[in-house]
Structure 1
């Protein structure tokens, strides 16, 4: 299901980051959503990107997103930075793969840069319900979107860090002093989420209590391989530096996509035969599917139900 949205307000969260508030074009109320949800926005015909919702998730009057400008990106962030009040966009319904765990004794949140966006929605949720939580916000000096909002919401539950050494020390303290039964959440660049995960493993956290959502994923080149698309009756050669999703689109076969970063799960496709090098964050390997946007064949060929 898609909705038509109207831009209600635009402002600069910090240099290089634009915050946009949307209302429904038909005047109806936007639906509520779980904290940590993202919204798919069509920034060009047939081109969609996913953006985390930052505003209140319970009976919201508007939907809010914040977008960092990526001059070398595919164009989605540039389109978002050109929006003006009154502009319209098509959107998906919100969905979440990064929601808080209700049974957690305490919620430990680590945000890096623009990765603060889903963490902010978690913070709003926890303050509304009175849940115990704390936030570590890692950012570059002078580039901290939503820092003032976090300070107002968190008070002394917020810690910040602007250098790698300071961030590493605070992460270590966070994971080694947490009460039993805590859950750990991180969102940010791959280096930060990897550091949080490594610190948690070193402190003997179980995987089920550690949650991450990288806002981008490194798609390292791999070996070329062949993809056999059974339903379409087509075969495509996937280049070493080409994603499987791009190769499928190149030969004109339709495949769903949204984030193109292995985070949202929109492009998950069943694998009929062949080994997969899973590089996504949605654990596609658990149910025999592949994230077309980032994952690849682990051998010379794959057969897909596509």
Structure 2
């Protein structure tokens, strides 16, 4: 089995894990504790179903390619090959249709249950006793909480600090959210490798801290963080020709990675000479001439002379 096939199988299991988590939420639902999570669970369910379809399509394509390769390796006759491929295609189509029906049945059942719970709570809320103004503003504030949108984190080291800071600000330190709410938001914002890190941790209020600490232990590594951003700087491809968009991309990537390094306590300004050399070595000959013409001084140029909109990038843009 190829690595891509193994990865797709893992993604398929992740979808099933999400379905199981939503099903468990429905079984253990308590209005006073879980009402704010309904919308989040609906979004998780929607996302999981979309992922299911995407993964199934890729798996079917890979399976067909594997069958084609096998028939070549075994040197079948054309007639035998056609017969076998048609039989396999029919079998796979049947299996795929069955899996899709099962997933769609589960999805529809859970979604309708969640929407029914949501509707019941809204009806109950509208018919409840009058709320004092101060209490009403609090309720309105809490109703809006599920609309929080977080960036997803899939396990890339250099994405961790941005995700961590935003999650801490919006969720982790939010006193209006319960620990269960926080765990739900955390799970819904993780993908890939990062999600695998917490997949085995049962979703419960007491386990939120455990899950958050697991992620911090895994990704809070300054040495790896610095390496990831330096790798990104060295991996930038040289420009092949004079092009404003390519230049802007190159300079923006350098600027972004250097800002992140500075954020964790490094001092990229002290590396100016080598950084200028690295940028210049990635310029095409025409753009490099623009830069050398712009910087005619005999002084060693500074990296801060390479903002995303320098004089020579503007010149290039105007000559397009």
Q: Please tell me the TM-score bracket, short chain as reference.
A: under 0.3
Of structures 1 and 2, the larger Rg is shown by: 2
Q: In proportion to residue count, which structure has more helix?
A: 2
User: TM-score, normalised on structure 2?
Assistant: 0.24
User: TM-score, normalised on structure 1?
Assistant: 0.25
